[in-house]
Structure 1
Amino acid sequence: MIRWRAIAWTGAAAFTAGAAALLVAASGRVPVSASAGHSAPVAWFLHFTMRRAVQVQAAEIEAPSLDDPALLTAAVPHFDRQCALCHGSPREDGLPTMGGTTPPPPALRDHVDAWRPRELFWIVRHGIKYTGMPSWPALEREDEVWMLVALLRRLPSLERTAYEGLAGAGDGCEGCHGADGSGSAFVPGLSGQSRAYLQASLDAYAEGRRASGIMQAVASRLDAPARTRLADRYAANPRPAPAADCVQPPARWQDTDAPLPLMQRCSDPSAALLRRSRARGGLIVREGIPGQGVPACRHCHGADRHSGHPRLDGLGAAYLAQQLALFRAGVRGGRHASLMRHVAERLDARQVADVANHYAARDAP
């Protein structure tokens, strides 16, 4: 009897509290204006709740090494165009009007050290409700999110001149791909690719058939004629020199079906080991691996390739290995995604590195 009475009292209290909340909302007197801000207790409670949620939900995330300065090549131009308006940058403060939001976006140079890399990854990837901080447009592209985290960790010490050099002064393509379209370790070279491949790639990004939080933001703003002009422009450029960098075998290639967070470049490779890696990669490119069901790469990416297939010669090793990881996980879209997933699933970690290292050091045939 006492138990049922307690349940009845609890239900009545809950109903009364709900009705009171509804009456307060219906009164129209709730302070929802951004100019009103939050009271100190409410601000503390909301920040405490957000911080604890991020800490707990990011606790199992394993951060990769983020010390490679090449990671900033793609991160800085995107940050400068998409994030700096609210959060400021080494070049300038954020827009003054953003100070009138509730809560105002933090100046990241002053606050980023308070967060662990895994927590920054969680925030950039998922965003924060009721703050205006959006989630990453392509949640499956964890590698891109880690690039942004690499930049955020460097932001407090990044000098203005270095930041401006990385941000670039050209259009959205030149900022990441370079004025000559040669690309970098983590960014593909565009010059010398076929017009058909470049056009198909831009169309896939614009239409959401190929995931990238960076490229979708660029391509979706271009109409079809603009995408065609860009494809024509870079297809006409001369092929850049080989990247000649190298990537280490991905440590967890066989342990997970998810895309690896970020490929790691060689820090100080032995010349002999690198030569052997490139030689093994060249054998796969020319002959494939019949015992693993892997065809020769040259059939699609060689000198007589179909114009819809990209040229791989001279592209960054880290970029090439990352694309294989994305194909393997079923994340990488594009016209030939199903075929490439079939290939990537049959390569082991060393073979991925070998093929990437071979192509990165190779001149066009």
Structure 2
Amino acid sequence: MRRFLIHTAILAGIAAIGAVLVVWLGLFNVSARSGHLPGVSWVLHTTFRNAVELRAPPADAVPDLSDPDLVALGARHYDGACRVCHAGPDEGRTATMLSMLPAPPPIKEAVADWEPQHLFWIVKHGVKMSGMPAWPTRTRDDDVWPVVAFLTRVPEMTLAEYEELVAPPELPADAAGADVAYCASCHGADGRGRGNAQVPRLDILGEAYIAASLTAYRTGARQNGIMHHAASTLDATGDARLARFYGAQQPSPASDPQSDSEPGGKRDHITLGRDLAMGSAASADVPACSACHGPWPDRLSALFPRLAGQPEPYLLRQLELWRDGERGGTSRAHLMHQAAKDLTDGELRALAAYYASLKPGEAR
């Protein structure tokens, strides 16, 4: 036994010396052109697949991914952040893509044989030594799912359908250059969100609030991977230019208010939301939302966003984030943490339904 241990120690020492020499003398060829030794690619890929399947969330944690607005939001982020490596569906890859090691697979191949929960883990956490980055922010999962929703549609999508989905709108003559073009792909050139209920209407928010929000996204004070990527392409000058452009857009109703036309159950829901917003509901733990957010004819503070006319799904998700302590923002963020912390699920839905039922800028 003693002899065995001595021989083992000697072999381990030789191995350690060899490893040190490989590292310090640069004996291992790191060139992407040289490729891997036989069997290394299989080991790495098998390890990757098993690691994802072990750590991905359970299948029952996958939300409903069928909303076309969710798919469109994910597609537009993919187009700006991911297409450069994986290309569009059925789109040829560039020579630079193909020269990487490993080469990023075309997107249809990349999503094949993965379930939505696996795609979520890959998009959120990335893959070491592959060039696949982690999601830009850490604390939220909900902003990853739109990309997953898009990826689940990719196998049946043609390049023409993809191009139509991500095509930017026509810009007006007074648009502030390429920055507006990028933002308009989701928010529209007029700031009205292109009918997508998953994104906020910028024409309602105001110049100062938009500028402060862009800064919060870029610095990480407000977590959202999609917006963190978008804001990282800007500086303070770009923030001001975009805020000025969208802040100058005149709010206009996307549709007529719904409070008088909805069926009884929905109308009652909106009525409860109005009572909560005005501070006349039975719950003493819920402050009056109208004190800061209206509806009122004139904005009380440049950092208090108008809510009237924002899409209901977007409002509901933001209220959930405030209540759960997962949202940051401007210097007034601490006020919302206190205001939302005692709201129930039903109260959140009622408030979102009420404010969504109003016309932008409505004072009632």
TM-score relative to the length of structure 1: 0.86
How far apart, in 2, do the equivalents of 1:25 and 1:244 lie? 68
Secondary structure, aligned partner of 2:75: helix
Task: Specify the code of the residue in structure 2 equivalent to 1:280.
Answer: L
Deviations 1:303-327 (A, max 9, x none): 1432211111111111111112222
Aligned counterpart in structure 2 of residue 349 of structure 1, from 345, 349, 352: 345
The alpha-carbon distance between structure 1 residues 199 and 28, as it changes in their structure 2 partners (threshold 3 A), is closer
- Structure 1 Cα separation of the partners of residues 236 and 47 of structure 2: 45
Match in the other structure for 1:214: 226
Distance 1:76 1:93 in 2: 18
| Superposed CA offset, 1:272-295 (max 9, x none) | 322222121111111255635211
Query: How far, CA to CA, are the matches of 1:12 and 1:282 in structure 2?
Result: 79
Q: Aligned to 2:225, what secondary structure does the other structure show?
A: coil
TM-superposed deviation, 1:56: 0.3
Structure 1 residues 76 and 245: alpha-carbon distance in aligned structure 2, compared to 1, 3 A threshold: farther
CA RMSD of aligned residues (A): 2.3
Report what 2:290 is aligned to. Answer: 298
Does the 8 Å CA contact 1:80/1:167 hold for their aligned counterparts?
yes
Q: CA deviation at 1:28?
A: 3.2
Question: For the Cα contact (< 8 Å) 2:273–2:352, is it kept in 1?
Answer: yes
1:273 aligns with 2:265: yes
Query: 1:253 maps to which residue?
Result: none
CA 275–9 in structure 1, closer or farther in 2 if over 3 Å, else same: farther
Question: How far apart, CA to CA, are the structure 1 residues paired with 2:343 and 2:226?
Answer: 28
User: Does residue 134 of structure 1 match 2:130?
Assistant: no
Aligned-partner Cα distance in 1 for 2:255–2:355: 9
Change (3 A) 1:227 1:55: same
Q: Is the 8 A contact 1:242 1:361 kept in 2?
A: no
- The 8 Å contact of residues 89 and 106 in structure 2, kept in 1 or not, is answered as no
Q: Alpha-carbon deviation of 1:203?
A: 1.9
The aligned counterpart of 2:174 is: none
* CA displacement 1:105-159 (0-9 Å, x = unmatched): 1111133131111111111111111011111111222111111100110111123
For residues 192 and 301 of structure 1, the distance between their equivalents in structure 2, rounded to whole angstroms, comes to: 11
Q: CA deviation at 1:176?
A: 0.8
Compared CA separation, residues 339 and 231, structure 1 to 2 (3 A): same
Please say if residues 279 and 286 of structure 2, whose CA atoms lie closer than 8 Å, have aligned partners that are also in contact. no
Q: How does 1:107-126 map to 2 (within 5 A)?
A: 107-126=106-125
Q: Structure 2: 5+ residue runs without aligned partners?
A: 170-180
Partner of 1:225: 237
Contact 1:167 1:175 in 2 (8 A): yes
Same amino acid, percent of matched pairs:
39
Amino acid at match of 1:190: L
C-alpha separation between the residues in 2 aligned to 1:19 and 1:244? 76
- Report the AA paired with residue 327 of structure 2: R
Whole-angstrom CA distance in 2 between matches of 1:244 and 1:152: 34
| 3-state secondary structure, aligned to 1:133 | coil
Partner Cα separation in structure 2 for residue 279 and residue 157 of structure 1:
43
Residue aligning to 2:335? 339
Corresponding position of 1:324: 319
User: 2:206, 2:247 within 8 Å by CA — same for their partners in 1?
Assistant: yes
Alignment of 1:282 with 2:294, yes or no, is no
Residue 7 of structure 1: CA displacement? 5.2
Alpha-carbon distance in 1 for matches of 2:290, 2:84: 45
The alpha-carbon distance between structure 1 residues 221 and 288, as it changes in their structure 2 partners (threshold 3 A), is farther
> How many residues are aligned here?
340
Q: Is the aligned partner of 1:99 residue 2:111?
A: no
In the TM superposition, 1:1-365 aligns within 5 A as 2=1, 8-60=6-58, 62-90=61-89, 92-169=91-168, 171-183=181-193, 184-242=196-254, 271-287=263-279, 289=281, 291-302=283-294, 303=296, 304=298, 305-335=300-330, 336-363=332-359, 364-365=361-362
Judge conservation of contact 1:242–1:362 (CA < 8 Å) in 2: no
Aligned counterparts of 1:227 and 1:164: Cα–Cα separation in 2:
28
CA–CA separation in structure 2 for the residues paired with 1:72 and 1:240: 26
For 2:155 and 2:340, locate their aligned partners in 1 and report how far apart those are by CA, in whole Å. Answer: 39
Runs of 5+ unmatched residues, structure 1? 247-269
Secondary structure of 1:232 counterpart: helix
* Contact persistence 1:244–1:360 (CA under 8 A): no
8 Å CA contact 2:207, 2:244 repeated in 1: yes
CA 1:126 to 1:26, structure 2 compared with 1: closer, same or farther past 3 Å? same
What is the CA–CA distance in structure 2 between the aligned matches of 1:80 and 1:288, rounded to whole Å? 46
Amino acid at match of 2:344: D
Distance (whole Å) between structure 1 residues aligned to residue 8 and residue 280 of structure 2:
70
